[in-house]
Amino acid sequence: MNKALILVVEDDNSVKNLITTTLKAHDYRFVTAPNGTCAILEASSHNPDIVLLDLGLPDIDGVEIIKKIRTWSNMPIIVISARSEDTDKIEALDAGADDYLTKPFSVEELLARLRVTQRRLNIIQNQAVAEASVFTNGKLHIDYAAGCAYLNEEELHLTPIEYKLLCLLSRNVGKVLTHTYITQSIWGNSWDNDIASLRVFMATLRKKIDSQPNSPQYIQTHIGVGYRMMKVEV
């Protein structure tokens, strides 16, 4: 499983060495890039499985690199940055990043994020055909063709908006979706009142699929950022 090719984009040699040493010790293959120009070149020529991207590069801001890569590829991008403000996280995630790791970080957390991303990749690759019509996550099942959702083999009675939210989250398992991304996908815009409505709809959806809202199994809140559907093992 750990034979994935990782592109490490980092201009700080100490951080780069920490990451590459960790990857090597866990049988990951990797290529490195010290700046944004090299990152785009390496991403296009090597087509890595996952990109680890620092935002504070000397030539091009990391967010711009995310946007450039997203014009031609959906390869997973995990941001690793010293920028810890919610606005920075939201900007990177809205640009197309899949996850965000704040410096300083532990080796264990980095490896955990890579494993989660790999699992999501494997799900997409191995079940691409099946997931086009049916989605299964733990005891949650969605029949996209029929427009129905089931939990514990019982049909969920969802409003049209709740069903659209559930489908959007399910098609992005493991990925944090920002408030802006969700509201634009559901309503076509992202005004403050849409985000307020989103919180209401998400609360009602959660009551229907998570038996313990205070300890959610399926939908995780990232306060100030957005929501993520978690992969649930049966």
Question: Dihedral of the CA atoms 22, 28, 31, 33 (nearest 10)?
Answer: -40
One domain for residues 30 and 118: yes
Q: Using the 3D structure, point to which of 64, 97, 125 is the last residue of a domain.
A: 125
Residue percentage of the chain with pLDDT more than 90: 55
Decide if 22 contacts 48 (C-beta within 8 A): no
Q: Identify the CA nearest to 220 among candidates 181, 180, 184, 173.
A: 173
Same domain, 58 and 160: no
Looking at per-residue confidence, does 83 or 215 come out higher?
83
Tell whether 153 is covered by a domain: yes
pLDDT at 94: 92
Q: What's the whole-number mean pLDDT along residues 45-59?
A: 91
Q: Does residue 158 surpass a pLDDT of 70? A: yes
Q: Respond yes or no on whether the N-terminal peptide bond of residue 104 is cis (omega within 30° of 0).
A: yes
pLDDT for 128: 58
The number of beta carbons lying within 10 Å of the beta carbon of residue 51 is: 25
Q: Is 18 exposed, middle or buried (0-12, 13-18, 19+ CB in 10 A)?
A: middle
CA atoms of 90 and 136, how far apart (whole Å): 28
Residue 104 and residue 110 in contact, taking contact as beta carbons nearer than 8 Å: no
Nearest to 173 by CA among 136, 223, 225: 136
> What mean pLDDT do residues 103-115 have?
92
- Is residue 1 scored above 60 in pLDDT? no
112 with 139, same domain: the answer is no
234 located within any domain: no
113 in the same domain as 10: yes
Are the C-beta atoms of 138 and 174 separated by less than 8 Å?
no
One domain for residues 138 and 222:
yes
The answer to whether residues 113 and 163 belong to one domain is: no
Q: Which two tokens stand for residue 204?
A: 């009602």
Q: How confident is the model at residue 229 (pLDDT cuts 50, 70, 90)?
A: very high
Co-location of 20 and 103 in the same domain = yes
Question: The domain that contains 219 carries what CATH number?
Answer: 1.10.10.10
Flag whether 71 is in a domain.
yes
For the segment 25-35, the average pLDDT, to the nearest whole number, is 94
Which domain, by its residues, includes 28?
A: 5-125
Q: Are residues 34 and 139 in the same domain?
A: no
Q: What is the pLDDT of residue 197?
A: 85
Q: Domain total for the chain? A: 2
**Same structural domain, 163 and 206:** yes
Helix ranges, the chain (H): 13-25, 36-46, 62-70, 86-95, 107-126, 128-131, 160-170, 179-187, 192-209
Of 81, 109, 125, the domain-final residue: 125
CA distance 7 to 122: 18
CATH of the domain at 25: 3.40.50.2300
User: Can you give the pTM of this predicted structure?
Assistant: 0.59
Q: Exposed, middle or buried by CB within 10 Å (0-12, 13-18, 19+), for 126? A: exposed
